[in-house]
Structure 1
């Protein structure tokens, strides 16, 4: 495939790039890549954010072009974006850019959708087994290893899985590509061997604290993956029990209007103010006006890189404090 791509590139660079895309997604499929990896690579190869939406499974995965995987907090898509249905499913893959796709982007959509279809077929029946006793046993580091392995098999997890912490105090143990329950906040622990799933459960518990209800009062992602958090857990633990001035400033900003927190969260999450306005369904000038009021209440400029980072951290710590129990 690489030799063919090189020969085609000498004749037609776009055709050569398209062949490389085909080979790339074929390799992902052969390696049994998960959905997040497929959407991430689609974004990178297309040079724009990519989004997978599967309403039947309650699945939304969005990846900006820089590859930072996250669950999409805004399910609204622009019909003008290039998209393709995933054959045999309710899922749709989108590239977040205006206008029709170029040749390479069209190939990215087609091949990524085929790879997604393979994953969904592979995981179609892998919904979490409702067996709280087995889940508790698997996540108990003090239980005998043989008992934990047997409990994992009852849950359909043979060798490797993830712990999932759900709002309300429930836990699940799922396979690597396991389907999460719909409509509930969830913290997803990192993939681990069965014997290491108690640690995955601890990470999932902290990730759950960083989720949000997705409302005006509690904006943010409903699903957070622990393996995407980097050093944030260290910050959260260091701030536990402390009165953080920037969190107090956020609470003060929330009093200026029901739109304030959602506006600030959109600005913190989007790659540009125009993207934030689009996510909020606002005119750009309306967002600018709201942001000026919010910045006055906060006490700092969130449009500068340092101020935006400060806002992002304040939002994270606010969610961690709200969902500590």
Structure 2
């Protein structure tokens, strides 16, 4: 209904239609109890210019570019920039990095984003009554730039034992999740695609969150075209974790990854077969994992080796295949 109304208004008055869309956008963020980063990102993208939130009293500084990327910047804002104070008795404000005069859309972005940011600040920085756990509190407890007192407060509000241990969990496109480490002999159930950070002291959760995001890059959808583990624990990666730092946006794939991609394009079964060969102890075990006869696996492997250009029957060739598949996942996650 809101989208339809915005469309009708846009036909009559483009600014009015855009303002309605801004209202609906930030209403969704408030209903979802979004964190500060999501709010400032929305302000920047909707306004079409960098936006920043500054609250020196709470030691919060967040800057987002117009494309929604966070960038650290400790410089003082230009007084000529459009801004909205977030409190009458403090130095906090939401800024749009361009001078006035403000148009109708700018004014609406400042008002709605400012109200949403004020609510998130109160929830996560100790000025509101306790409520159920929400993403803004989690965002604070895993934020290395947040003051220790703010992270300790957020941990208490989340029900985490401040003197105990917890771990962070990362999911594709989703916010952080944190869990207290269960008692010895128990385990926390994790489903879906996820990267698990190591168990750490609660106040060290930012490091667990960083490691969880690294672990997530090693996961796969678990489908025929993206085979691999859906859940990866950073503690199980060992030295493989170092590979994540070598593959990023713009990194050229090594020749072996290109060979795997070319092989995958030749037949729909190639990737699943190669993954089964790389992760099982024998052809028969691979056949069981693929639910096909072991002779079929042998035939497929012979064809796949021809496409790859190397044998995977010996330990060196198998390791080469394992590394190529891992690097392929890292390249896919960097897109």
TM tier, smaller: 0.5 to 0.7
2:245 is paired with a residue of what secondary structure?
Answer: helix
CA–CA separation in structure 2 for the residues paired with 1:199 and 1:312: 27
Measure the CA separation in 2 of the matches of 1:239 and 1:143: 28
Match in the other structure for 1:167:
172
- Larger relative contact order (CA 8 Å, sep ≥ 6): 1
Contact 1:256 1:294 in 2 (8 A): no
Could you say which residue in structure 2 is the equivalent of 1:270?
A: 280
After superposition, where does 1:211-230 map in structure 2 within 5 Å? 211-230=219-238
Q: Tell whether 2:144 aligns with 1:141.
A: yes
Spell out structure 1 runs of 4+ moving beyond 4 A. none
Per-residue deviation at 1:252? 0.5
Structure 2 unaligned segments of length 5 or more: list them. Answer: 1-131
1:181 and 1:239 mapped to 2: Cα distance? 27
Task: State the alpha-carbon separation in 2 of the partners of residues 254 and 301 from structure 1.
Answer: 16
* Contact kept in structure 1, 2:260 and 2:308, CA below 8 Å: yes
Deviation at 1:216, TM superposition (A): 0.7
Distance, in Å, in 2 between the alignment partners of 1:142 and 1:245 is: 39
Give the structure 1 partner of residue 252 of structure 2: 242
Report the Cα offset of residue 181 of structure 1.
5.0
Alpha-carbon contact 2:276-2:289 (below 8 Å) kept? yes
Counterpart for residue 89 of structure 1: none
Taking the aligned partners of 1:170 and 1:210, their CA distance within structure 2 comes to 18
Q: Is the 8 A contact 1:155 1:174 kept in 2?
A: no
Structure 1 portions without partners, runs of 5+? 1-128
1:152 is matched with which residue? 155
Alignment of 1:45-124 (within 5 A): none
CA contact (8 A) 2:170 2:176 kept: yes
- Deviation at 1:176? 1.6
Which residue does the alignment assign to 2:333?
Answer: 323
Instruction: Give distance in 2, aligned partners of 1:287 and 1:188.
Output: 32
8 Å contact 1:138–1:198 — kept in the other structure?
yes
What is the CA distance between 1:179 and its match in structure 2?
3.3
* Count of residue pairs brought into register by the alignment: 196
Separation in 2 of the partners of 1:293 and 1:300?
A: 11
| Structure 1 CA distance for aligned equivalents of residues 213 and 166 of structure 2 | 16
Rounded to whole Å, the distance in 1 between the matches of 2:298 and 2:159 is 51
Corresponding residue to 1:131 among 119, 130, 134: 134
CA spacing shift, 1:263–1:139, aligned 2, 3 Å: same
1:47-73 deviation per Cα after TM superposition (whole angstroms, max 9, x unaligned): xxxxxxxxxxxxxxxxxxxxxxxxxxx
Question: 3-state SS of the aligned residue for 1:313?
Answer: helix
Matched with 2:304 is 294
TM-score after normalising by structure 2? 0.56
Q: Which has the larger radius of gyration?
A: 2
Q: How far apart are the structure 2 equivalents of 1:310 and 1:219?
A: 17
Over 3 Å counting, the alpha-carbon distance change for 1:130 and 1:210 in structure 2 is farther
Q: Tell me the C-alpha RMSD between the 2 structures.
A: 1.5
- Contact 2:138 2:154 (8 Å CA) reproduced: yes
The 5 Å alignment of 1:182-201 reads: 182=191, 184-201=192-209
Deviation string 1:271-316 (CA, Å, 9 cap, x unpaired) is 1111111111111111000000111111111111001111111111
SS of aligned partner of 2:273: helix
